[in-house]
Amino acid sequence: MRVLAGIKPTGDALHLGNYFGALRQFVDLQEDYAEPLYFIADYHSMTTVRDGEQRRRNTFNVALDFLAAGVDPKRSILYLQSDLPEVCELTWILSTVTPMGLLERAHAYKDASAKGTSVNHGLFAYPVLMAADILLFRSELVPVGQDQKQHLEMARDMAESFNHHYGCEALALPEPYILEDAAVVPGTDGRKMSKSYDNVIPMFAGKKQVKKSVMGIVTDSTPVEDPKDPESVVFQLYNLFADPEERKAMVERARAGGLGYGNVKKELLDKLLDHFEPMRERRAELEQHPDDVADILRTGAARARAIATPVLEACREAAGLGTPGA
């Protein structure tokens, strides 16, 4: 069973939304599936990041985050998307069998258009690149949140279209692996945590920066002595780190009154720092050995290409690409 997932390096480090929404589950999947493929989607980041040096820094930092969080390069294949030129070739092949109407229904394009944002071809064709990421490995399970299910459906449509046009079965149809325990993490302002909203709590930033982010969580003006809403943002974030008994106790304290939001933030900060401290130490050690990290990515790319090459060759053969008779 082939599992594949990726994360964009659009920021200088991953945040709680990345961790609880995806990365934590990636680590767990290593226990159940052989050689899951995890990639850093630097091609995808090009629709928003316009500085080459920044992208290189972001990529290195995300690689550190993957490894520090527990992605094991001996059990998983960790690679950089742009180290596989096969991705771009399959993207073009797929684009020739993908109708405009399908791309116009993509959530990212519709949202950008509704906001009046200038849309470049990269954003418009984003689902084709994403489909190439998936189909290049005949991926059978792709871990996604419920809000990303459309990407899998579009990838299936493209695979079916190519196979139909060329009378082949070169591309397998992937199935979404809905991460039921993946949390939709609220940001410090109550919206979904996202770098684009500038509302993130980073996993591995300095303790002062993490504290500033936590203490900046937006709360209402309810007096300390009054009951609090246990569903508000600060309590949702606390619950990510608390066990069931701690969550129950916190709900009771919130409803009883006399609990200040500042106290909840301090308890959240302590739990957050404790949770990530072992990972923080691993990350600091890895950061001192950038050549080792680069070797892991190069080795991962070589392993990934060994899987991808036969799939691309099957597509080229079906489509009649390459020197005749060769």
- Residue 322 CB neighbours (<10 A): 10
Minimal CA–CA distance to 41: which of 27, 55, 26?
55
The span from the CA of 235 to the CA of 228, in Å, is 10
- Residue 205 CB neighbours (<10 A): 18
Which two three-digit tokens encode residue 43?
A: 């091609």
For 204-284, which CATH class? mainly alpha
The span from the CA of 45 to the CA of 260, in Å, is 40
Which two three-digit tokens encode residue 237?
A: 């974030």
DSSP designation for 23:
I
- Residue 208's pLDDT is 95
All structural domains of the chain with their residue ranges: 4-185+290-319, 204-284
Q: Are 157 and 139 in contact (CB under 8 A)?
A: no
- Residue 235's pLDDT is 97
- Residue 178's pLDDT is 72
Q: Are 144 and 151 in contact (CB under 8 A)?
A: yes
- Residue 315's pLDDT is 98
Minimal CA–CA distance to 130: which of 144, 117, 116?
144
In this prediction the pTM is 0.92
- Residue 247's pLDDT is 96
- Residue 142 CB neighbours (<10 A): 25
The span from the CA of 41 to the CA of 149, in Å, is 18
- Residue 39's pLDDT is 97
Which two three-digit tokens encode residue 296?
A: 């892991």
- Residue 267's pLDDT is 98
- The superfamily CATH assigns to domain 4-185+290-319 is HUPs (3.40.50.620)
- Residue 182's pLDDT is 63
Q: Is 76 helix (H, G, I), strand (E, B) or coil?
A: coil
Mean pLDDT by 10 residues, the chain (326 residues): 91 88 91 95 94 96 96 97 98 98 92 87 95 95 77 94 98 81 84 91 93 96 95 96 96 96 97 97 97 98 98 98 84
